[in-house]
A and B are shown apart, each in its own frame.
Chain A
Amino acid sequence: MNRIHAAFRRARDEGRAAVVPYLTAGYPSLEAYLDTATQLLEFADLMEIGLPYSDPLGDGPTIQRSGEAALRAGVRTADVVALVAALRQRTDKPLLLMTYVNPVFAWGPARFFAAFAEAGLDGVILPDLPPDEDPEVVRAARDAGLATVFLLAPTSTDARIREVVGHTTGFVYTVSVTGVTGARSELPDLAPLVGRIRAQTELPIAIGFGVSGAETARQAARVADGVVVGSALIRKLASGEDPVPLLAEIRRAARVE
């Protein structure tokens, strides 16, 4: 069992859905990121690290702005490798990188994934890579020892679900709504989609996009094995507030009933 599956298992044993915070690496600064991420780790089961990208077409305004700010501040891919290494010094919890595919091509998939794996990364989330689209990239991640995570959406057909879970070795990242990332006040009924995915895989399923606080976390935890929260945390950071209490609240709410 890899470290990712173990983390989901442990959370379930504690009667919770796994809590997966997302922060944009290097936002608001390299140092501040490391501090915040370290504090969030206390309430996290897995950690998602966003590589800042110039053209994040799957992200809503909150994550877009944070990525732009990080890039303006000069954050480079090599800095993010170093951040992963620094986090790995501080935790045994699974660390996953979320990256659009062009930064992977820029370094070359083998070099890119090897650098992050060496730094202590456990897995990679590729939001603009349907896995059947470029099996070589997926293979390169696997060869570097990284677990692979892809997204599924409410529009996903059973055929797409089958295809995507077949390439997944980490968890199934299920997008709660058609749309981009961003905090929402409520989520649609997730049971039908999660049910269709469960019918095809035993991999852990995490709900992302739209989780903003206790209520949405509770709703996601009712059907899924994990809850990803990103924009809501970054919104706190952007307004100079501490995001840690929000994650603590989400963790408390993510009880499995």
Chain B
Amino acid sequence: MYLPEYPLPDERGRFGPYGGRYVPETLMPALEELEAAYRRLRRDPDFLAELEDHLRHYAGRPSPLYFARNLTEAWGGARVYLKREDLNHTGAHKINNTLGQALIAKRMGKHRVIAETGAGQHGVSVATVAALFGLEAVIYMGAEDVRRQELNVFRMELLGAEVRTVTSGTQTLKDATNEAIRDWVTNVEDTFYILGSVVGPHPYPMLVRDLQSVIGLELARQLQEAEGRDTPDAIVAAVGGGSNAIGAFAPFAYRPAEKRPRLIGVEAAGEGLASGRHAASIGAGKRGVLHGSYMYLLYDGDGQILPAHSVSAGLDYPGVGPEHSHYADAGVAEYVAVTDEEALAAFRLLSRAEGILPALESAHAVAYAAKLAPQMGRDQVLVINLSGRGDKDVTEVMRLLGKESR
């Protein structure tokens, strides 16, 4: 096991102009301390062995790289593989990150962890590792999300975490993140903030990327076994904050252009980019600062952050990680957007074609792959990062499809 070291961010925590540390001064020493601890631990053989052991025996890695024969035949183009992050413990890629951060917290002597959550996936994952390592966990969740995701709230409580309802602002993920940061500012001496995506102040975008890179590294090795080459022609992944996508992209992103697969991030177009109800920060946003990082962001002419919208709660975030912002500008990756309706269609398609219920987030990647694969050659390989399982979304999909058929 190793944690890859990439050329970016630079020593100031920047990916080109993006990233940085736009935070209250109170947090600056804590961020410096975290960065120093992480830079030490990433090369510490004991830490890496402990992480690997947990990834293997607790999370269930490696996750399979599954050749989707039926999809391949149905689309009639590229050979389609699914990177099955949905088969990890807790049902998504989130555990790759939370295991790593919880182990860092332990080694830094912090016994209290906090986190933000939107739909509850990251929150459940944090509650899970907190239970495993005997840490006190407080999870911030917007009142609106608490109402919509009752079951995940109960799940976190079963795991022993305290869920705090956030009633400020839009009462969703961005406000839960604000509240987690406020908690951290207040309790910084004894608290570790387990951030869930490749956003936030440096070193979080780097730390979360490195921990999620196991996705892309495994994928390369598994593809070598399956196809005799370690590089697919294209990788497609859903992008909200961007952690599953960065995990799949980063191990390939710093290669020379001719050795790089097409990297395609799929944002949530919601009800359509023209409707204003979407979460396409790269597709329709501007550069700005949210939660400590300079990145593409949805805001109005005065800089007030706009609410994001997507059928998928995990993509419902008004910003996108600084590294993705940089990839977009530099042309390292392409970013497209898929509507709620297209994602729902893909949800049904994958369920019927392969017997796999994808998370609505991951269904966005499937929806774009459905457009791309038929245009690719039969000797080409396309990998979809299937970031999570769809069980959590079944009630929501039932509601949406029910509405449609009536």
A100 contact set on B, CB distance < 8 A:
289, 303
With known contacts A55-B290, A102-B290, A102-B305, A150–B25 Cβ distance under 8 A: yes
Alpha-carbon distance between A60 and B24 when the two chains are bound, in angstroms: 13
Q: Are B181 and A157 in contact (CB under 8 A)?
A: no
B48: interface (CB < 8 Å):
no
With known contacts A155-B29, A157-B29, A127–B305 Cβ distance under 8 A: no
Query: Counting chain B CB atoms within 10 Å of each CB, which of A55, A56, A68, A178 scores highest?
Result: A55
A85: interface (CB < 8 Å):
no
**The one of B24, B168, B189, B290 that contacts A58, using a Cβ cutoff of 8 Å:** B24
Secondary structure dominating the interface of B: mixed
Q: Closest B residue to A163 by CB, please name it.
A: B28
**Interface segment out of the listed A26-34, A129-137, A218-226, A246-254:** A129-137
User: C-beta contact mask, B35-57 vs A, less than 8 Å → 1, else 0?
Assistant: 00000000000000000000000
With known contacts A57-B182, A106-B303, A160–B290 Cβ distance under 8 A: no
B159: interface (CB < 8 Å):
no
Q: Are B26 and A57 in contact (CB under 8 A)?
A: no
User: C-beta contact mask, B270-295 vs A, less than 8 Å → 1, else 0?
Assistant: 00000000000000001111111000
B188: interface (CB < 8 Å):
yes
Alpha-carbon distance between A26 and B241 when the two chains are bound, in angstroms: 33
Mark out the residues of chain A between 134 and 159 whose CB falls within 8 Å of any chain B CB in the assembled complex: 134, 150-157
Q: Are B185 and A178 in contact (CB under 8 A)?
A: yes
User: C-beta contact mask, B287-309 vs A, less than 8 Å → 1, else 0?
Assistant: 11111100001011111110000
Secondary structure dominating the interface of A: loop
A128: interface (CB < 8 Å):
yes
Separation in Å of the A64 CB from the closest CB of chain B? 5
A61: interface (CB < 8 Å):
yes
With known contacts A64-B168, A101-B289, A76–B302 Cβ distance under 8 A: yes
With known contacts A102-B288, A102-B299, A128-B22, A156–B29 Cβ distance under 8 A: yes
Mark out the residues of chain A between 86 and 126 whose CB falls within 8 Å of any chain B CB in the assembled complex: 100-107
With known contacts A102-B299, A155-B188, A134–B22 Cβ distance under 8 A: yes
Q: Are A151 and B25 in contact (CB under 8 A)?
A: yes
Q: Are B24 and A68 in contact (CB under 8 A)?
A: no
Alpha-carbon distance between A164 and B185 when the two chains are bound, in angstroms: 18
Mark out the residues of chain A between 57 and 92 whose CB falls within 8 Å of any chain B CB in the assembled complex: 57-58, 60-61, 64-65, 68, 71, 76-77
Q: Closest A residue to B174 by CB, please name it.
A: A55
B299 contact set on A, CB distance < 8 A:
102, 106
**The one of B22, B26, B290 that contacts A153, using a Cβ cutoff of 8 Å:** B26
Separation in Å of the B217 CB from the closest CB of chain A? 32
B186: interface (CB < 8 Å):
yes
With known contacts A68-B169, A156-B29, A180–B182 Cβ distance under 8 A: yes
A22: interface (CB < 8 Å):
no
Q: Closest B residue to A179 by CB, please name it.
A: B186
With A102-B297, A153-B25 known, 7 other A-B pairs at CB within 8 A are A54-B169, A100-B289, A105-B303, A106-B303, A151-B26, A178-B187, A180-B186
Write the residues of chain A forming the contact surface with B, with a CB cutoff of 8 angstroms. Answer: 53-58, 60-61, 64-65, 68, 71, 76-77, 100-107, 127-130, 133-134, 150-157, 160, 164, 175, 178-180
